A = this chain, B = another copy of it.
Amino acid sequence: MFDSKNPQRTPISDLGEFGLIDHLVKNAKTKLSNTALAVGDDAALIDQGDHYTAISTDLLVEGVHFDLSYVPLKHLGYKSVVVNLSDIYAMNGVAEHITVGIAVSNRFPVEALEEIYEGIHLACERYNVDLVGGDTAASQSGLMISITATGRVEKGAEAKRSGAGDNDLIVVSGDVGGAYMGLQILEREKQVFLENPDMQPELGGHEYILERQLKPEARKDIVELLKGLDVQPTSMIDISDGLSSEILHLSKASGTQFNI
C-alpha cells in the first residue's frame, strides 16, 4: 500500500552481528545522569544512588540459536535464563531479577511451554533469581525467547570491558570450546539420524561437553570467589563467541594490547 521511501537494500550479512548493532545504536546518545554505562558492554549500568543496577537483554531464536530436534525444552528454558544471568556476573554483579518474553506458533501445545517454564523456574531457583514479569505472544512460525536480566553491582566493584590495563593478567574460567564440541556431537548424530531414523544416537562418553552445550551454568561462583578473596578485577567479559573474539572486544574497549 505504501511505497518504501528507501529503495536501497543492503543485506544484513554485509555488516555482521556486531557491525549491525554498532551501526544501529551509534546515534544513541544518552541523556540521563543516572545512565552510568549504556550499549557496548555485557550489561548496562544504571546508577541507583548507593549501587548500580545492571541490565541486559538476549534473544534466543529457533533454528538460529537452538535446534529443537535435539534440545530438550526444559534445558532450553534453563539455558535461556543462564546465558542472561552470565551477562550480569560478567559485570561482577549479582543477578537478581528476570523478565521473560516468549513468542510461539500454534504448533507448540501448552505442555511445551510448561516444559520451557520448568527450566526457567529451575534456573531461577538455582541462581536465587526472581521471575518478575513476562509476556507470551503468538508467532507465525517458530519459537523465540527474549529474556532481560537485572542485578545489583556495588559501586567500585563494576568490571567493564574498558578497564583492562598494562600488566593485567588474562584469566579464563571454565573450558573454552567445550560447548562447541558438544554441538558438533549433536549435529553429527542428527545427520546420522536423518539418514537412518533407526539408528540410536551415540552420545555416551560425551556427557561433559554435551552438558556444556545443552545445560551450561553461569559463573556466579567466580563473582563470589573474587569477592571472598577481596580481588577487584579490572575488566571482565562473558565468552560467547570464543576467546579471540572476546579478547578483541576487550582490546577495542580498553585500548590495550593482549598477549595470549
Contacts and interface: CB of A to CB of B under 8 A. Distances in A.
A111 interface: yes
Which 7 pairs show the lowest CB-CB distances between chains A and B? A44-B132, A146-B146, A9-B109, A57-B99, A10-B110, A148-B148, A30-B130
A103 B140 CA distance: 13
Given A1-B201, A6-B111, A48-B49, A130 B31 contact: yes
A136 B96 contact: no
Nearest to A44: B132
A21 B136 contact: yes
A186 B195 CA distance: 49
Interface string A20-55: 110111011011101101110001101011110101
Contacts of A253: none
A8 B128 CA distance: 31
A2 to B, nearest CB: 6
A114 B134 CA distance: 27
A101 B145 CA distance: 10
Contacts of A20: 110, 113, 136
Contact of A130 (B35, B69, B109, B150): B35
B141 A28 contact: no
A164 B138 CA distance: 31
A109 B70 contact: no
Interface in A159-187: none
Given A57-B101, A121-B28, A140-B62, A38 B108 contact: no
A39 B44 CA distance: 23
30 contacts: A1-B189, A1-B190, A8-B109, A8-B111, A9-B111, A11-B109, A11-B110, A13-B106, A17-B137, A24-B114, A28-B121, A28-B124, A32-B128, A32-B129, A35-B96, A35-B132, A37-B132, A38-B133, A39-B131, A49-B50, A55-B97, A55-B132, A55-B133, A55-B150, A59-B103, A61-B137, A61-B140, A64-B140, A139-B144, A150-B150
A214 B206 CA distance: 52
Interface residues of A, number: 92
A258 interface: no
Interface string A44-82: 101011110101111111111100011010000000000
Contact of A57 (B17, B134, B138): B134
